[in-house]
Structure 1
Amino acid sequence: MPRTDYRPDFRLDGFEPVNDTVEEAFWDHIDSESDSMTTLAAHHSTDGRASFYVIHNGAVTWGIPGEPQLIALRLERDIAAKSYSFEHARLPLPAMAQSWLIKRGCPAEAIALPPGMGTQPADTATVALQQRLAADGDRFALLHSYTDDTSPKPETTVLLRALDERVEKPFRVLLEQADLDTYTHTLREGVFETYEAALGWMEDRSSPLPPAAPSTRTISPAAPPIAPPQVRGRAR
């Protein structure tokens, strides 16, 4: 049987970059490594003007250790002029990539990762947190992340800061841990009053994550998971 090709289809046949700057940027950030990319989820508007992608870039695992391996990409096409522009973000977790796309016009249900794309959520707490991040991710700024895919139990740590200055404990640490024996993962979060305290926990890890207050957002049990897990990169 032929091997399934999961590389992204940008649907740009017959289209040219809107200017030289876009052409150079698209090559530098996207197209130059497209052979190492896997499309985790994609949505295309019915009029063909916009496309949204969650992409895993396998080339990152050969570069600087710990760098985010996911790309959120939005393509915008001018159908009449046959030109395109784009915007993108490199992010450490699928839910964060989905949140970025949702805030730029992608329907939330359309960018959910299909079954089989990486490990599966191990529990309802993981599903609930992924859904909340996808819905509310724009309330936080990404400060640091580290993706470790070199061990049998890969993990990603993320440090966020709430944009609302009234939040009592504005710093949040997310910890995703995968079990490749069961092909599942968990995602947990902790809250901290200061940047130094959050960094201290990330460096020490001898105590449990300080629990966040229960979310006031209601998540329907029937709602489909917004953010199944990421596909892991190859070991260095």
Structure 2
Amino acid sequence: MSLHTPQFHLDGYKGASKQVEDRFFTAVEVSQIDLRVLAEHHAPDSRHSYYVLHDRSVTWGIPGEPQLVALHLQRDTGARTFRFDSTQLPLPVMAQSWLIARGCPTDAIRLQPGAGTAPADDTTRALEARLVGDGDHFALLISYTDDISPECPTTVMLRAVDERSPKPFRVLLEQSDMDAGTHTLREGGFDTFHAVTQWWEAYWSGDGVPLPAPPPAARPAVSPAVPAPAPAATKPPRR
């Protein structure tokens, strides 16, 4: 199934304000030709639309930037106006979680066939299911997507919103097997910001440092909407 450019169904609508129209053009419309729909859901009453989008233009921009866009469109069908909220995120599960937190039904925003690689194992499937359905415990600090290396790795650094959480710093590591069309997703837990940044720098320098396991009793998840409570690590240079 080929991926298509998004249709926003805004014919006859205008932004709820000039600022909304300007932001929508800058954040979404200007790159619409490079966007591809990975998942979408439209409410039966047409008041809400939810999208997980891949932005192909990012690969030509700042190295390592997130390549996915989560978009929530809100229409006033009586006034014929719209508002929107959007964010760039590094992993599909994070985009799905962000949209679910804004009212999208969980089962309605699954990736369509052909939208990227498939989970390679049960560990990946279980972790993705948890991150999609439990998105209010961790804040996104930084991510890095390497779309040049054969494994196309993406690393995501998180911090627990609850400071009492064990191993409050987490890393998500996604690696792909493009020949098989699959990917693995793993999670590691760290006690301190220093420890997580040490692992991050070692990984991107090519040292092959193992990812430590998170505490089994914890319920970590991704919450891109929560502001990062700690300074972000420096992004590694593109190799």
TM-score band (shorter)?
0.7 to 0.9
Residue of structure 2 in register with 1:212 after alignment: 214
Of residues 15, 31, 41, the one that matches 1:33 is 31
Instruction: Give the conservation status (yes or no) of the 8 Å contact 2:3–2:115.
Output: no
State how far apart, in whole Å, the 2-side matches of 1:92 and 1:33 are.
17
Deviation at 1:4, TM superposition (A): 5.1
Q: Size of the alignment, in residue pairs?
A: 215
Deviation at 1:149, TM superposition (A): 0.4
**1:86 is aligned with what amino acid?**
F
Q: Structure 2: state its 5+ residue gaps.
A: 220-239
**2:17 is aligned with what amino acid?**
N
Residue of structure 2 in register with 1:174 after alignment: 172
Residue of structure 2 in register with 1:24 after alignment: 22
2:55 equivalent to 1:44: no
Deviates more, 1:35-44 or 1:196-205: 196-205
Determine what percentage of the aligned residue pairs are the same residue.
54
Deviations 1:7-61 (A, max 9, x none): 0111111111111100110011101000000000000101000000000101111
Residue of structure 2 in register with 1:56 after alignment: 54
Instruction: Give the conservation status (yes or no) of the 8 Å contact 1:100–1:138.
Output: no
2:112 equivalent to 1:114: yes
Closer, same or farther: CA 162–132 of 1 in aligned 2, 3 Å: same
**2:11 is aligned with what amino acid?**
D
Summarize the alignment of residues 131-170 of structure 1 with structure 2, pairs less than 5 Å apart. Answer: 131-170=129-168
Following TM superposition, where does structure 1 have runs of at least 4 consecutive aligned residues deviating by more than 2 angstroms?
213-217
Deviation at 1:215, TM superposition (A): 5.3
TM-score by length of 2: 0.87
Q: Structure 1: state its 5+ residue gaps.
A: 218-236
Backbone CA RMSD of aligned residues: 1.4
Q: Find the residue that maps to 1:138 and give its secondary structure.
A: coil
Specify which structure has the bigger relative contact order, considering alpha-carbon pairs within 8 angstroms and separated by 6 or more residues.
Answer: 1
Q: Find the residue that maps to 2:134 and give its secondary structure.
A: helix
Deviations 1:192-216 (A, max 9, x none): 0111111110111333111012257
Closer, same or farther: CA 133–61 of 1 in aligned 2, 3 Å: same
Q: Find the residue that maps to 2:128 and give its secondary structure.
A: helix
Q: Find the residue that maps to 1:51 and give its secondary structure.
A: strand
Residue of structure 1 in register with 2:97 after alignment: 99
Instruction: Give the conservation status (yes or no) of the 8 Å contact 1:74–1:86.
Output: yes
Summarize the alignment of residues 215-234 of structure 1 with structure 2, pairs less than 5 Å apart. Answer: none
